[in-house]
Amino acid sequence: MPSALQLFVKEALEKKIPKPQIAEALKKAGWQEDEVNSALGAFADVDFPLAVPRRKPYLSAREAFLYLLMFLTLYISAYYFGSLLFTFINRALPDPLIPIYDFKYAVRLPTASLIVAFPLFLWLSTYLRRTIRRDSEKKASKIRKWLTYITLFIAAGVIIGDLITLIFNLLGGELTLRFELKVLTVFAIAGAIFGYYLWDLRAEEKEA
């Protein structure tokens, strides 16, 4: 059943009121910008006596599978890239209190994971972006938005935890170059993911 907002927009468009004027009136009434944009975007810009609704994007099982797989490979790639960098830091700056370990064995799992997961992530990301370019309505995919916001939440949580750990050790006077490099590694990986997907969401909002 259409909401009061959608009904208002529909009636206003059928009275030939321009979209900017409708948006201004709704914002003055207290509606949020994203709600207004979503309601206006639900109707096509076509010359017709009645407001013509846009086709709502259909979420197929295939699309859900591809997005889930893409974000899974992103998480695997990020985790094992960090793990690989940690291993190199441990080798360059060994801790005398930690027993010597087999470096070649330590890098095997992260390297194998990156060889499989990262190219797959790049391919899926490229393929899905091309799909969106061909059909711009797929930008409104709910699973895409949900997974993007979940990724932002996880990345933000990692960054906050990383900063808490840094400040905790700083207050305790326990900072070492080895520790600082590991903190920087985590911050750089999580920050890059957070920054990219936040930029992607903002770019999408501007285009809406």
Identify the CA nearest to 107 among candidates 78, 83, 89, 79: 83
- Work out the pLDDT band at 14, boundaries 50, 70, 90: confident
Average pLDDT over residues 187-197: 96
Spatial separation of the C-alpha atoms in residues 132 and 136, rounded to whole Å: 5
Residue 157 reports pLDDT greater than 60: yes
Span of 4-8, 54-58, 64-68, 79-83 with lowest mean pLDDT:
54-58
Per residue in 72-88, pLDDT (tens digit) is: 999 999 999 999 999 99
Residue 1 reports pLDDT greater than 50: no
Residue 183 reports pLDDT greater than 90: yes
Residue in the structure block whose two tokens are 């080798």: 91
Name the most confidently modeled range: 30-34, 56-60, 126-130, 137-141: 126-130
Q: Which residues contact 29 (CB under 8 A, 6 or more apart)?
A: none
- Work out the pLDDT band at 50, boundaries 50, 70, 90: confident
More confident position, 128 or 44? 128
Span of 3-17, 33-47, 91-105, 120-134 with lowest mean pLDDT:
91-105
What does the DSSP 8-state code read for residue 50? S
Spatial separation of the C-alpha atoms in residues 65 and 55, rounded to whole Å: 22
Identify the CA nearest to 100 among candidates 88, 109, 91: 91
For the chain, what's the residue count?
A: 208
Beta bridge partners of 116: none
Signed CA dihedral, 175, 178, 183, 184: sign only: positive
The pLDDT score that the predictor gives to residue 175 is 82
- Work out the pLDDT band at 35, boundaries 50, 70, 90: confident
Identify the CA nearest to 184 among candidates 70, 75, 106, 93: 93
Residue 104 reports pLDDT greater than 80: yes
Can you tell me whether residue 53 is helix, strand or coil?
A: strand
Average pLDDT over residues 93-113: 84
The pLDDT score that the predictor gives to residue 46 is 83
The pLDDT score that the predictor gives to residue 58 is 66
Signed CA dihedral, 17, 202, 151, 116: sign only: positive
Identify the CA nearest to 139 among candidates 86, 202, 76: 202
CA angle 120, 140, 131 (to 5 degrees): 40
Q: Express as a percent the part of the chain with pLDDT over 90.
A: 49
Q: Express as a percent the part of the chain with pLDDT over 70.
A: 94
Signed CA dihedral, 169, 170, 172, 175: sign only: positive
